[in-house]
Structures are given as structure tokens and as C-alpha cells.
Structure 1
Amino acid sequence: MPRIAVDAMGGDEGVRVMVEGAAIARRRHDKFNFLLVGDRPKIEAALESHPGLTGASEILHCEDVVAGDEKPSRAIRRAKTTSMGLAVNAVKRGEAGAAVSAGNTGALMAMSKLALRTMPGIDRPALAALLPTLGDNDTIMLDLGANRECDARNLVQFAIMGAAYARIVNGTERPRTRLLNIGTEETKGTEQLQDAAAQLKAATGLAMEFEGFTEADKINRGQCDVIVTDGFSGNVALKAMEGAARFVTDLLRNAFSSSFRSKVGFLVSRPATELLRHHLDPNNHNGAVFLGLNGVVVKSHGSASAKGVANAVEVAARLLEEDITDRIKTELGELGEERLRHASGGRDAIVK
């Protein structure tokens, strides 16, 4: 059976939530087994509440943990002794098909890139996640923090990977793809953004519909399937959306508890508010993936609940089922180096 390595020590609550999340995911995807990496006594204690997971799991004992504020450079040196590093190395050695961690994002990115390397034709991996929208499908956004600065070449590669991911998770044959910018006009934005837009517009062989630029206030409107940006802007936008969601939720809670009439109004409108709460709950969209590596690595939010961890594990399972790594490699290969050179105005700007 395919196996998923879970860093059981990562995240704000550690073993209990990670094991419970894996148990929930196992009930939904019973053809997957698990390699639970972390402190054996703690994992065994957590497994007592989940007998269905026990028989489908192997424990790799490890007491060392990457701290949330640990520098990636230091974490890399401890990759062979930490639960996060051992989970990623299990993918490298072929002992697991994917790794899931809720630990330090920078450390996970550094370890994954060093151990798995980027696939041919990709310079840098990107962190991609599904974001809720008002449309029929969620929007895939990347990069969300793996690369603070990106050139046009990186952005074009991100667009190719994001479109491949969208075809898997949303079933969209030609995903609508846009670059995040401060305006939709062709003259807006940095030189890198304008150059990337020109390349994507000229590349006729891409399996996507490139539609130019979009602004941050349109991210959740459902007007496109893939939004591409650098990791700095993407992470700021993501945190702003999460903060806005919490603000709306808290605002409604305070408003409905302000008076007896408000409490009655809450009871009347409860079905609608429950739908809103479900839509805004980040646990329902948890699980960002590092696209562009020779292997599957999924990052769970550090504060995710067991339900959120289960969603992250399910993302890993689905990517293994759909063979995302080979699909991206195939698409890059089908484009061909000469076609990409022509699309970029004669410059070897997309694929080495």
C-alpha cells in the first residue's frame, strides 16, 4: 500500500492532533498506510484512541523536534535527527510516497528542497494552497511563502505547476490563470510581473487560459482558477485573508451576543451563520503543497485542528493518487525547450 509519512511532533498541539488527524484521513482513504515519526511512547498513547489507525501504521521513533522559531540553516543540519527531517527523508528513500508536517515552514521547505531536489525544468519549488471562493471551485494560489523574491522565470514556472495542480483537484481542463498585481492594466506592476505576463501570453502550448492580472480584492471572487505571485506578496495576502475571516467571525459573535433581541436573531439566522462559519474555517482548506519537488510534501497549518490535519493528509493522498510529480514533469517535457524559448522572445527564460 502507498504510505504517507506524518511528522507527529509538528504543530502547536503535537502528537495528539497529528495522530487524530491521520486517523480521520485513514477512515476516508483506507488504501493508505502511515509512517508516524516522533516520540514512540507519546504516539502509542495517542493510538490507543484510534485502533483503526494502529494496524495501518508504523512508528519511527524520534524525540528531537524542529522548533517553530528555528532557523532553516540550523534545522537542515539536524535533518537526520528530527521528526520533520526523518519524515522528508522517508520520501527520499522511497519508504513513503509523501510527507506531511505542521512544523516550521521555512525548515520544512529547506529540508524538502535539499533532500528531494527540484524536478527538471523547475528552479524553485512553490508553496500552493486552495483558497475558498464564491465560485464553484476553490482557487489555487502560489507562492505562499517559499520564495520571498521571484523573477519572471519563476513566476512562469509557478503558473505551469499551479495549472497542473488545478486540473487534478478541480478537474479543470484549461485553468484560468492570472498574476497577482496592483492593477489589471498591462502597464501596472513590476518589470518581473510584466515580463512574466508577456511570456505566458505568448506561450501557445500551455494547458491553461492566461487572463492577465488580478488584484488582491478579487482573490476570493471565483473569477480564476490559479493565482500566481511571489512568496512575500502571497504570504501577506494569505495572512490578511485569514485575519479578515477571524474578524468577521468575531464581529458576528459579538453582535449576536450583545442583547436578548440579538440572541433571538442568532437562533433565527443560525443556518446561515453556520454556513458562513464553515466557509471561513481555515481547517476546511488546510494543506499547502510544495510543488516542483521530486516528491510530495504537504504543509499543515501549525494551529490546525484534527479535522484540518486530516484535510492536509487527504491532500497528500490525492496528489499521490493522481501522480502530481510525473504529471508536471510530463507537461514541462511536452512544451519543449525550443517552444518556450520562442515564447519568451528568444531568451532561455523558462526552462534550462
Structure 2
Amino acid sequence: MKITKSNLKENALSLLQDLIAQPSFSKQEAKTAELIQNWFISYNIPFKRQDNNVYAFNKHFDSNKPTLLLNSHHDTVKPNSAYTKDPFTPIIEEGKLFGLGSNDAGGCLVSLIAAFTYFYESEDIDHNIIMAATAEEENSGPLGLNSLLEILPKVDVAIVGEPTQMQLAIAEKGLVIFDGIVHGTPSHAAHPNNDNAIYNSIKVLDWFKNYSFPKSSEVLGDVKLTVTQINAGSQHNVVPAKVELVIDVRVNDCYTNKEIANMLTDEAPCELKPRSLRLNSSSIPKEHPLVRSGISLGRSTYGSPTLSDQAALSCPSLKLGPGDSTRSHTADEYIFIDEITEGIDLYIEILKGFLIKD
């Protein structure tokens, strides 16, 4: 198939419509993986598949060159009950393409695939390119990008496709979830008890409410700590032995997740245990040539509070893509057609500035 920008844009839109029409909840992405494979087949691009991850290398891959990873996901969350349109019917109305996964992150995915295809046969680029359409992003599952990175060549820099309105998210907060327990003495509600776990939790909740981490990031701001769940008791006449809490901590680039865990477990006035420390913050220097290429095209930089597959990467990474993050996971999700076509153009121009040196 002949590769032109016009052709790529038309086919990218068609692929996105097909992806929307095929349910692809996390861990159930086999059919959308096949659709992505069909794209590569139509352009005679060799590809590989690991579980539901589909990936391809540029034609002139050279192990002596550094490697750029282009990555986005093809799994979705489940549609919420507020949908008024069929989430699996790709409808175009007033320049908007509606459907589950259209904005998060289908528009980014097909735009990145189109940009990769544009550069696939290029010989005058100073980086290799790997395109990886991955699974299990929405549930941070074990068979997504995490597992794929174990078999890919070393990645030196990455673009992660998520809706950023094609602005440059040069940093992203990490995440640590803690399970907390406030202990007390169980008893019958009719008897005196000066060690009621529910009452004990009041001062604990107040401690979390007022706790702050001293280091603030220029790009990501402060670490954000929020108690999001509380559970205690089983019947009206029994004082429970414990109150269970869940604490959500969004970590800036001044700390590692391990440092956050050490601080809180040492200082918190309750029993506290982190679920996982693997979802660290990520960033790329503003002076990096990939970022500079975007800035030269009028793109602005910012820090993102939301988590993505960037957390799996240990190399500098940029979050960038068409669409708007505020539409993600909403009812009647949509992306503008113009956002996709602009996204393809901008991906190509940013990559030209980064990959092709005078």
C-alpha cells in the first residue's frame, strides 16, 4: 500500500472505528490485537506478537543506534452506566468520533501507528523506532508493556501516547496505594471502652489530612496524599477491633516510591503497608532533543497528574497525544476527527525534528 499522509490519516481513522467496534477490556484484547496486526500486514510491515501486545521494528533497525519506543494501549475500561450512545458503535457527529476508547487512547494509538508507518522505510534517521501497541494499561496488568519490555532491545527514549491535546507532558506522577489499619479493643457497645478503633481513627485521619511532604517539584508540584476508603464494623452492637483505610499517594519526581513508603510507614500513627512500589514517577528533561523538537513547533510543556504506561519505563519518556484527558472514562467518550489528523501531522513533524539531523 502506498504511504502518503493522506492515506495514513484515512486508514488511521478507519482503524480507530474498527477498534471501537470491538470490545477490548483489559485482559480481553485479542480481537483488537488482530485488527492492529492487519494494519501492519496491509503495509507489508513485519510484526511480532506477545500475548495481546503487537510490536514492530523500523525496516533498517541498527543495533548500533539508540532506540525510540512509540507506545500506546488498545485496552479500555468498561463503559459506565451514564452512556446514552452505544459505546461500541463508532458514530461521527459534528466532527466528533464517539465510542469507548476513542479518546483514551485509540486516537493516540492509531496516530502513533500512522507516524511509525510513515518512517518505517526511512534510512536517514539516527534512532531505531519500535512501535508497541500494548494491552492491560488500564489495570496496570502483568501482561502489558511491563512484560514486553523484558524482550525488547534496550529503549533509550519513549513517547507514550495518551491524550494531552498534543502538548508535551514532560513529567508524570507516580502512584503508591497503602492499606492502613487503626487498631482498638473490641467490645460490646453497651460497655465502656476507651480504646474504640473508630474513635482512634479520627486522629489518624486528621494526621493524614494535615501531612505534607517537604519537597515540591517544579513540574509536578506537591506529592498528593488522599484517604480514599474506610471500612469498619459488622453490626450495631459490636465495637470493631480495627478500622481499615486505603490511602492514595501521587508521587512527584522529587521522591522514589520507596522513599515515600519509608517515610509514611515510619511516621504514620497506624499500621501501614504499600501494595506495590513499581509505579514510579517519570520524566524527560526539558532540554532533551525530543522535547525541544516539540517546543519548536509551538507545543508547551507541563506535568501530568495521571498515571500511564510511562510508569513501566526506566528511560526518559514523553507523554503526548491527541485528545483531552478530561474526556477519558466519561460517558459518550469522543475525540475530534481534526485532533487525529493534527496528531498524525504533529507526531511526524516532531519526529522529523528529532530523528533527522541536518
TM more than 0.5? no
How does the TM-score come out when normalised to structure 1?
0.30
Question: Based on CA coordinates, which of the two structures has the bigger radius of gyration?
Answer: 2
The structure whose residues are more often strand, as a share, is 2
TM-score by length of 2: 0.30
